[in-house]
Chain A
């Protein structure tokens, strides 16, 4: 069994009136089972309200299942005695960088978590050093978080999670409030943690460009997993994605449109380079005379 496993997970948001009578039940997760392999990079897509954030909150026991079970490193998240152990193993990064930074100085903020769980002082500093290094923020350690850009703040938040020495990081739309540069910074950092440190990553996002490097893409709709595969498989199903209110990267859409008009291009093109190569090949078959020396 993988590092994270959910079996027949159901979660209901229950609204009660003043007398505690149930007023409304809203099923956010509907009989979902999933198994995440240790060390993998998994992206979760889905429109607003599809249940992806609710799922994320189950992974570090902010929410516990209404029915079914979630295990993190073989620990049942519903077992209260394991709560702190689970949160140490699975760290979370949220959307708004300003809501998760508390320290006056970057290094203080990063050290907050380990200090809270009683890590000895020397060890705290060691963890702070390593975490800041891992997210490339060492140069900013004595700065005030207020002076940082959005992308830098998110990297500090990620360092704070890393200082807990987690096995897994869950990021819930970490780039939604960032500009394109900040977005790239954060995604690069997360990929590095996954590749160099072997941290399992669960990335929830709306930006399809951030998904193309994942090992696995899960699409959620109405509290269920509706698509599950590698990026190429998922992005070759353009119509289906659109049906779930999702986008595809522009090059993927362009390739799809051309295929539909009869062009001989492979399915599920994800990058610009791939597109250019495939297209040149298609031209060399149908109209080679158009491939002449580069224009000046």
Chain B
């Protein structure tokens, strides 16, 4: 059990006229190594929630436990927590500031007080992990393309060797290929390093493809919690929350309404293709093919 959130409540500007409840009695547990998708419309509390997970914001009520320890408890080492729970903000490339790529990635681990050798080793590792070739390492980060900048920013967080990686819309503004490259890399990191991953995204198609589990936030509360297939069964309720299921899920439901027998839990193009091809084939006729 890596992260445990118990009855978490957070109120902005408590006691003033601007008081606003951003999180309302949220509880869940994320075991080590899970890939969790976090969805919800703008203002649903997702960003407030992830800021709690590495101690940037203190709960108004409830508890957050990391490996069994209360992160708001007295004497808890928040600095250490932040190196273990890496948070990649939205548009992280806006936070690049160093003269060259490698120095930017070195900044975090150097602040941990590691030896210069270790700092460099980690930075180089992290840059390779995100697929940044060596020829870019001495370039100014500001001369890179949007997708490359973003990878450098993610490398900066990976160089801290986090156990948990939280990414807030890491693909916003990227073109389709840039998006797939970043997500494939995140998936690879998740698999190879067994890193617990929490991904915030508006793309239900991406969620269906990558996440083991989906947490859906709505008005500060946890609305759904389950595998993507379980959650997308509630596509009608999701729509009322300003969300949606993947396009193919709608197609499958529409075909079912027309009388075709198709598994309702289809969420990806590949699954839909296989299921629909089976429908088109006459039983017995195509089996030898």
Contacts and interface: CB of A to CB of B under 8 A. Distances in A.
A150 B258 contact: no
A251 B251 contact: yes
Contact of A254 (B242, B244, B273): B273
A219 to B, nearest CB: 12
A245 interface: yes
Interface residues of B, number: 40
A80 to B, nearest CB: 30
Given A177-B173, A179-B202, A283-B280, A294 B242 contact: no
Contact of B177 (A47, A273, A294): A47
Contact of B176 (A176, A246, A275, A290): A246
Contacts, number: 113
Interface in B232-269: 242-244, 246-248, 250-251, 254-261, 269
B254 A276 contact: yes
B238 to A, nearest CB: 11
Interface in B114-152: 145-147
Interface residues of A, number: 42
A62 interface: no
A279 B175 contact: no
A257 interface: yes
A206 B176 contact: yes
A294 B258 contact: yes
B281 interface: yes
B162 interface: no
A117 interface: no
Given A177-B173, A251-B251, A257-B269, A295 B42 contact: no
A288 B247 CA distance: 25
B174 interface: yes
A179 B41 contact: yes
B172 interface: yes
A275 B251 contact: yes
Contacts of A258: 273, 276-277, 280
Contact of A180 (B202, B250, B261, B277): B202
A250 B173 contact: no
B175 A287 contact: no
B79 interface: no
Interface in B139-194: 145-147, 172-178
Nearest to A293: B259
A279 B282 contact: no
B145 A250 contact: no
B250 A294 contact: no
B146 A291 contact: no
A93 to B, nearest CB: 15
Nearest to A257: B273
B174 A48 contact: yes
A246 to B, nearest CB: 6
A180 B244 contact: yes
Contacts of A254: 248, 251, 269, 272-273, 276
Interface string A256-296: 01100101000000001101100110110011001111110
Interface string A175-194: 01101111000000000000
19 contacts: A47-B175, A48-B174, A177-B172, A179-B41, A180-B41, A246-B175, A249-B247, A251-B251, A254-B248, A258-B277, A279-B276, A280-B255, A280-B258, A283-B260, A283-B280, A287-B281, A294-B259, A295-B256, A295-B261
